[in-house]
Amino acid sequence: MNTQHAEPEMLDALIIGAGFSGLYQLYCLREKLGLKVKVLEAGDSVGGTWYWNKYPGARCDSESHVYCYTFSKELTEEWNWSERYPGPDEIVSYLDHVTDRFNLRHNIEFETRVAAARFNEKDNHWDIEVDSGRLYRARYLITAVGCLSSANVPEIDGLKDFEGQWYHTGQWPKEGVPFEGKRVGQIGTGSTGIQAAPVIAQTAQHLTVFQRTANYSIPARNHKLNTEDRSSHKLNAAATRELTRNNSNGHGWLISEKQALKTSAEERTDIYEKAWQTGGLKFRASFSDLLISEKANATAAAFIKKKIHQLVNDPETASSLADIDHPYAAKRPPIDTHYFETYNRDNVELVDLRKTPILRITKDGVVCHKPDSKGQRTEKHHHLDILVFATGYDAITGTLLRMDIRGRNGLKLSDAWSAGPRNHLGLQVAGFPNLFMITGPGSPSVLTNMPAAIEQHVEWISDCIAFMIEQNHTTIESSESSVESWVNEGNAEANKTLLPSVRHSWYLGANIPGKPRVFMPYTGGLDKYRNICQKAADENYKMFVIS
Ligand code: NA7
């Protein structure tokens, strides 16, 4: 850490990131606790994940009337969403509005990336250094860095030789990318690729989609909201708040109590058909046993695969798209706008990488292995002007570990987590006093509607810091034993579901070479998690080590 710079700026709390989490954490610590707080943000505006993810077709998969804060009735009352699912520009406008409405901007430093943070054991504070070398000193350090903010660009042989332009969807140029007259290759068919392909296909001369793992998708059925929709959302806002705070997923709906396996085939198909027509993530709430029973899940999987075959004209393409090797929603379940239908366009081609893997990238395209009719190895060159990597993120831990965070005895977070992330309640790591993580590993985060999970975390952290101040305590940290029991609890909850069975899922870190395979999000549900956290607070944080 650079010590040649001027005196550090003294703060009570430093927050990293100005997305949904960082802004609300700033508001709570400043307004409710009166602390001196600063947010450091790498981008030049608020927005977090949505500041960077401006790729074609980008859209939130939570519905707009729940993808927002609920802490201020006035804010809920005055803000008007324009569509069922908000796009990045509208979300950033919303967060801009929140920033100005609550006068938060002057506590945020933009274009400032945290490089390192060290816990000073002598004086019990954090020393933080940013990329420009500036220093800050704070009693509390809170990471609000999002779960999907470190782009994963796979190391494919030859990328450096590519003479066209290439982009990762998570670092999309603000000015956009014109596809007119271009031959575009898109690698990846996760939630992002499934959103991007239909939009890129509308203007590109030709789009080649490289699919490694076929994926389920449910129609989003996005639409403009009218005055009645908005009035109804506002009228029901208090009830919706109660619902999103007290259910397992933080969305505006409950998971049905009906079991697929105890429902007749005819009724089951009716229920799936209705959910398909309604669209969106609620499809996965059709039955209570979908994520715990392979047999139940297979009924949903079969329904969706049949839809794919109905939607896609070319039987070979349909077969590749429907050749899905994992249970429905055991990987992140995408929702789409005309994704499967896009393959009926003359200018769109699917390359099934399970049959014809990528060999290398050349100066003007991608070369795939293509067995000929005699099974001999031949090569096919896909000529491309633009390559789009919709290849996901070093999710949940990537951004945390890219910073050089060191706790007691200089322990590096990357060493503490060398076998995978370990913490207590997803909030605190043993040996890292006064460091709190919002929506980190071990918390429900990506399995929920994020703002609901974020409000819970921020409020818990704020209450905890208020307790520390009231009681004149200096440090709070997890004990090794509480970490051990939380890791066991997390594994036990995950193993009740089908989710850890998908070995190639980013929930397990499997998309990043060398990343430990540990199931990261807490699957017990936001409601259960909230109660566990509340109990810890009600017991005066006795599971934590306080000094
Ligand atoms: P995902 O869900 O991680 O999807 C990434 C896609 O990229 C997926 O289809 C991957 O295939 C594919 N991929 C990754 N590396 C490669 C290589 N080397 N070759 C070919 N294909 C590759 O990321 P998304 O951005 O779509 O979604 C992330 C979240 O963002 C999403 O859940 C929403 O919450 C928003 P694989 O499946 O690994 O075989």
What is the full DSSP assignment across 20-36? Answer: HHHHHHHHIIIIIT---
Q: Give the pLDDT of residue 6.
A: 76
- Residue pLDDT, tens place only, 432-456: 999 999 999 999 999 999 999 999 9
Phi first, then psi, for residue 216 (nearest 5°) are: -75, 155
Q: What does pLDDT average to over the chain?
A: 97
Q: Give the pLDDT of residue 4.
A: 55
Q: Which residues pair with 166 in a beta bridge?
A: 387
Integer Cα distance of 39 and 28 in angstroms: 13
Q: Specify whether the backbone of 395 is left (phi greater than 0), alpha (psi in -120 to 50) or beta.
A: beta
- Residue pLDDT, tens place only, 46-81: 999 999 999 999 999 999 999 999 999 999 999 999
Mean pLDDT to the nearest integer, 253-273: 98
- Ligand 1 pocket mutation, candidates 168, 192, 215, 323, criterion most atoms within 8 A of CB: 192
Residues forming CATH 3.50.50.60 domain(s) in the chain: 9-150+394-546, 159-226+265-270+294-389
Residue 285 CA, chain-centre distance (Å), reads 20
Integer Cα distance of 28 and 107 in angstroms: 13
- Ligand 1 pocket mutation, candidates 156, 446, 511, criterion most atoms within 8 A of CB: 511
Residue 5 has pLDDT above 60, yes or no: no
Which helix (H) or strand (E) segment holds residue 432: the answer is none
Q: Give the pLDDT of residue 425.
A: 98
Residue 146 is encoded by which pair of tokens? 């999002």
Integer Cα distance of 55 and 421 in angstroms: 30
The finding on whether 192 has its CB within 6 A of some atom of ligand 1 is yes
Residue 156 has pLDDT above 80, yes or no: yes
Residue 1 has pLDDT above 70, yes or no: no
Q: Are 190 and 332 in contact (CB under 8 A)?
A: yes
Integer Cα distance of 81 and 58 in angstroms: 16
- Residue pLDDT, tens place only, 494-525: 999 999 999 889 999 999 999 999 999 999 99
Residues 6+ apart with CB under 8 A from 204: 179, 180, 182, 183, 184, 347, 386
Q: Whose alpha carbon is nearest atom 28 of ligand 1? A: 392
Residue 276 has pLDDT above 90, yes or no: yes
> What CA dihedral angle connects 45, 46, 47 and 53, to 10 degrees?
20
The finding on whether 159 has its CB within 6 A of some atom of ligand 1 is no
Distance 191 CA to ligand 1 centre (A): 7
- Ligand 1 pocket mutation, candidates 210, 332, 358, criterion most atoms within 8 A of CB: 332
Distance 273 CA to ligand 1 centre (A): 27
What percent of the chain stands above pLDDT 70? 99
What's the number of CA atoms in the CB half-sphere (13 Å) around residue 195? 28
The finding on whether 187 has its CB within 6 A of some atom of ligand 1 is yes
- Residue pLDDT, tens place only, 118-129: 999 999 999 999
Residue 3 has pLDDT above 90, yes or no: no
- Residue pLDDT, tens place only, 89-134: 999 999 999 999 999 999 999 999 999 999 999 999 999 999 999 9
Tell which residue, 51, 62, 87, has the closest CA to residue 335. Answer: 62
- Residue pLDDT, tens place only, 14-25: 999 999 999 999
Domain 159-226+265-270+294-389 has CATH 3.50.50.60: yes
Q: Which atom of ligand 1 is nearest to the CA of 170?
A: 25
Q: Whose alpha carbon is nearest atom 25 of ligand 1? A: 392
Q: Which atom of ligand 1 is nearest to the CA of 504?
A: 38
Integer Cα distance of 415 and 488 in angstroms: 20
The finding on whether 356 has its CB within 6 A of some atom of ligand 1 is no
Residue 540 is encoded by which pair of tokens? 């005066």
Q: How many CB atoms lie within 10 A of CB 309?
A: 13
The finding on whether 146 has its CB within 6 A of some atom of ligand 1 is no
- Ligand 1 pocket mutation, candidates 67, 169, 212, criterion most atoms within 8 A of CB: 212
Phi first, then psi, for residue 25 (nearest 5°) are: -65, -40
- Residue pLDDT, tens place only, 170-225: 999 999 999 999 999 999 999 999 999 999 999 999 999 999 999 999 999 999 99
The finding on whether 391 has its CB within 6 A of some atom of ligand 1 is yes
What percent of the chain stands above pLDDT 90? 96
Pairing relation of β-strands 108-109 and 358-362? unpaired
Domain 9-150+394-546 has CATH 3.50.50.60: yes
Residue type, 73: K
Can you tell me whether residue 358 is helix, strand or coil? strand
Q: Whose alpha carbon is nearest atom 10 of ligand 1? A: 188
